[in-house]
């Protein structure tokens, strides 16, 4: 950074109620922060959302917190922590309002990202401090969810926002004549998709909700040296390159699913899909953010027997089918090793993967999709799986050296054969990582993908 000194900014939300308490249930579904244009260089990787999160069982004038003696308790996804609250992340150019990057279903993306790129020690240590994450569901309840009788104990966080634009290594010239200012918008997730009962019992928990207090955005801005001011002010045009994430949603209800999209991406790096029973979404009885296998009849796991990735209807990049180990032995409980490797590489290249919590413990098939009291106690429920929780996805990597593959004229597709039976709709979340180039000029911003 070409700067003499650095300044640390604290920016309050643009939209905030008079009492400073933000709650989705009480009508504040969007957070918006503006980093104004100024004579400085912004390091986007230093952007943090700072605040205090508390969970309540009801929506009274003085809401009742979750306390140690409650049975059952309301809780959240322990691997996600405060990331469970961020439904969508949007980064805009403040002057033209053009979108630099938008990640839909951001919390579901972060569940896979954190599971693959963070070790158990990360989840317990610095992520536990900064984002309220935990690898163990009981430890999460005891340290994050449970509060004092008056609900006065703060649950403070200072979380980063992993995204291509903010983590791409670029510094942003905030001068009015150059790139200018930024707007960070975060769509909050509904309470019913963030919170869920430890069991399926909801007595007394129907109005459960989360609340955010003392919110602010912090970042580091470097002052431009006087001798560099003329040169930096002349940078009226420029370009930035980074990887961006596109999130798509669909649903399937068949044992031979065909998913096809015109993604219009020229440098597609990788893609992965996560799954969730559709009846688990937006209900306090189930964890709608868990990355599990699909659900067959009776809350048992459904398994994929054959997977094909397609480009323009043809098998690509592999010209063969991925036939899983469940096809040969219906009783096998270990994850298919080839699908597991593809999953990890689709989220982060193997040469960059120096820590992970993915293991046979959370990639196995030794759980069911019931949230009942019995399964939650004996450890068979997906809600109480160790090492952060169930971690399943199907992915593919296209790029070896960031060159990517051209899907601008041909459809992206995937064919999924499974043993799903009966009427069991499954929600499918597709995430596409592609190389993007942002070009700015006095007329605005353009993103080329």
What does the pLDDT look like over 324-376, one tens digit per residue?
Answer: 999 888 888 888 999 999 999 999 888 888 889 999 999 999 898 887 776 76
Q: What does the alpha-carbon distance between residue 143 and residue 78 come to, in Å, rounded to a whole number?
A: 11
For residues 19 and 343, what is the distance between their CA atoms, to the nearest angstrom?
44
Listed in sequence order, the residues at least 6 apart from 129 whose beta carbon sits closer than 8 Å to its beta carbon are: none
Q: What integer pLDDT is reported at residue 343 of this predicted model?
A: 95
Instruction: Find the DSSP H helices in 30-148.
Output: 106-117, 120-124, 126-130, 137-140
CA distance 292 to 385: 11
Q: 245 to each of 60, 284, 374, 405, how far by Cα in Å?
A: 39, 28, 39, 15
Share of the chain above pLDDT 90, in %: 72
pLDDT at 50: 97
pLDDT at residue 1 is higher than 70:
no
Superfamily of structural domain 3-236: Adenovirus Type 2 Hexon, domain 4 (2.70.9.10)
d(CA 246, CA 392) in angstroms, rounded, equals 19
Measured CA to CA, the distance from residue 291 to residue 277 in angstroms comes to: 10
CA dihedral 432→434→440→443, nearest 10 degrees, is: -50
Query: Greater confidence, 229 or 373?
Result: 229
Q: Per-residue pLDDT for 16 more than 90?
A: no
Q: Collapse the DSSP code of 338 into the 3-class scheme (helix H, G, I; strand E, B; otherwise coil) and give the result.
A: helix
Q: Between helices 106-117 and 337-347, what is the axis angle to 10°? A: 110
Q: How far apart are CA 304 and CA 319, in angstroms?
A: 18
Give yes or no for a contact between 352 and 102, defined as CB atoms under 8 angstroms apart: no
pLDDT value of residue 4:
59
Q: What tokens were used for 273?
A: 């899909």
Percent of the chain with pLDDT over 70: 97
Does 3-236 match 240-438 in CATH topology?
A: no
The DSSP call for residue 400 is S
Secondary structure percentages of the chain, helix, strand, coil, to 5: 20, 35, 45
pLDDT averaged over the chain? Answer: 91
pTM of the model: 0.94
Domain edges within the chain = 3-236, 240-438
With b for 16 or more beta-carbon neighbours within 10 A and e for fewer, the 133-167 pattern comes to: bbbbbeebbeebbbbeeebeeebebebbbbbbbbe
Question: How far is Cα 254 from Cα 80, in angstroms, rounded to an integer?
Answer: 30
Strand partners, 160: 48
**Which pLDDT does position 377 carry in this prediction?**
66
Confidence of residue 152 (pLDDT cuts 50, 70, 90): confident
Fold designation for 240-438: Jelly Rolls (2.60.120)
Give the containing element (helix H, strand E) for 213: strand 209-224
Query: What are the pLDDT digits (tens) for 375-392?
Result: 766 678 999 999 999 999
Residue 383 CA to residue 141 CA, distance in Å, equals 12
């Amino acid at each position: 950074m070409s700067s003499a000194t650095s300044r640390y900014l604290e920016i309050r939300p643009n939209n905030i109620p008079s009492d400073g308490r933000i709650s989705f249930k009480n009508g504040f579904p969007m957070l918006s922060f503006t980093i104004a244009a100024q004579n400085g260089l912004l390091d986007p990787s230093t952007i943090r959302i700072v605040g205090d999160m508390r969970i309540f069982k009801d929506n009274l004038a003085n809401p009742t917190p979750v306390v140690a003696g409650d049975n059952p308790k309301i809780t959240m996804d322990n691997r996600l922590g405060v990331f469970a609250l961020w439904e969508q992340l949007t980064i805009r150019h403040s002057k033209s309002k053009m979108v630099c990057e938008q990640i839909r279903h951001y919390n579901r993306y972060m569940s896979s990202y954190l599971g693959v790129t963070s070790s158990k020690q990360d989840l317990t240590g610095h992520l536990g401090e900064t984002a309220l994450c935990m690898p163990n569901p009981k430890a999460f309840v005891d340290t994050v969810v449970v509060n004092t009788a008056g609900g006065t104990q703060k649950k403070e966080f200072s979380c980063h926002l992993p995204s291509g634009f903010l983590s791409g290594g670029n510094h942003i010239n905030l001068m009015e004549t150059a790139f200018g200012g930024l707007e960070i918008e975060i769509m909050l997730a509904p309470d019913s998709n963030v919170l869920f009962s430890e069991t399926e019992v909801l007595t007394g928990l129907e109005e459960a909700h989360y609340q955010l207090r003392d919110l602010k955005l912090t970042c580091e801005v470097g002052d431009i040296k006087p001798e560099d001011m003329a040169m930096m002010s002349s940078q009226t045009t420029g370009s930035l390159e980074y990887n961006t994430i596109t999130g798509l949603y669909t649903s399937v209800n068949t044992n031979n699913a065909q998913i096809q999209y015109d993604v219009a991406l020229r440098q597609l790096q990788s893609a992965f899909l996560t799954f969730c029973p559709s009846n688990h979404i937006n209900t306090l009885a189930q964890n709608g953010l868990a990355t599990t296998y699909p659900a067959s009849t009776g809350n048992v796991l459904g398994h994929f027997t054959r997977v094909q990735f397609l480009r323009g209807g043809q098998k690509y990049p592999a010209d063969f089918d991925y036939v899983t180990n469940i096809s040969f032995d219906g009783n096998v409980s270990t994850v298919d090793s080839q699908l597991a490797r593809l999953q990890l590489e689709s989220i982060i290249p193997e040469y960059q993967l120096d820590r992970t919590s993915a293991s046979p413990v959370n990639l196995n098939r030794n759980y069911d999709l019931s949230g009942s009291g019995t399964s939650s106690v004996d450890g068979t429920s997906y809600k109480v799986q160790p090492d952060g929780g169930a971690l399943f996805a199907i992915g593919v990597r296209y790029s070896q050296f960031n060159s990517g593959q051209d899907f601008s004229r041909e459809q992206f597709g995937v064919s999924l054969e499974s043993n799903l039976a009966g009427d069991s709709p499954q929600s499918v979340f597709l995430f596409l990582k592609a190389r993007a180039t942002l070009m700015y000029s006095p007329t605005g911003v353009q993103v080329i993908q």
